[in-house]
Amino acid sequence: MAMKIIKLFLISIVIFSLTSLTITATASDPSYYDFKEQPQKPLQALDDLYKSILYETLDRARETVRMLDDLYKTFIVLITAEYVDDPSILPAATLSKRVFEAMNKKGWHKARLLDATGTPFNPDNNPRDKFEREAIKAMLSGSTYFEKIEKIEGKDHLRAATSVHAVMQGCISCHPDRKFGDLLGAISYSIPLED
């Protein structure tokens, strides 16, 4: 809703500006017509204005991903460091998935763990769609971050994924076939860009 109001406001500004430009252009000062560059067409100006607002919204969504990623990864490391002594204890990943589900149910955002090992403990961690498959492919190629803007239910969303590596001995307890520093998977985020 806020994006629609902003769009209508911007359209009003552009129309007002174009009307003012037309009125000013009829002034008697001939130097006004000495354009160094070709003036923008009205629709191009509106499109540029919309893109600048979209980029500001996208920057805020990216900042949200960075904050959530730092929060969740700190949470996983702390849980692992404090509570994971052997693989029979509730894994930090399982607890994290429960937190992700709670955040989604409360309407905040969507996040989920993705497997990059090819042998997940839980098949639900396999990539589910094209974005997630492309994200894991990028992670396996050495990327630590992957993003795309996609329409979901008619609204633009930032879809982002960040790599998850074995960063401590507790990670190896649950992933004994891996070594310190190995890629384990990713966290996939979906952040709406519109209300």
Range of the domain at 93: 2-19+42-192
Instruction: Report if pTM > 0.75.
Output: no
Gap between the Cα atoms of 88 and 102, Å rounded: 24
In a domain, 29, yes or no: no
Task: Spell out the residues 6+ positions from residue 65 whose beta carbon is closer than 8 angstroms to its own.
Answer: 147, 158, 160, 162, 189, 191
Strands (E), 47-166: 110-115, 145-152, 155-165
In terms of C-beta density within 10 A (0-12 exposed, 13-18 middle, 19 or more buried), how is residue 154 classed? Answer: exposed
User: If you search the block for the tokens 């607890």, which residue do you land on?
Assistant: 95
In a domain, 114, yes or no: yes
pLDDT per position as a tens digit, 100-142: 999 999 989 999 999 999 988 889 999 999 999 999 999 999 9
Number of domains in the chain: 1
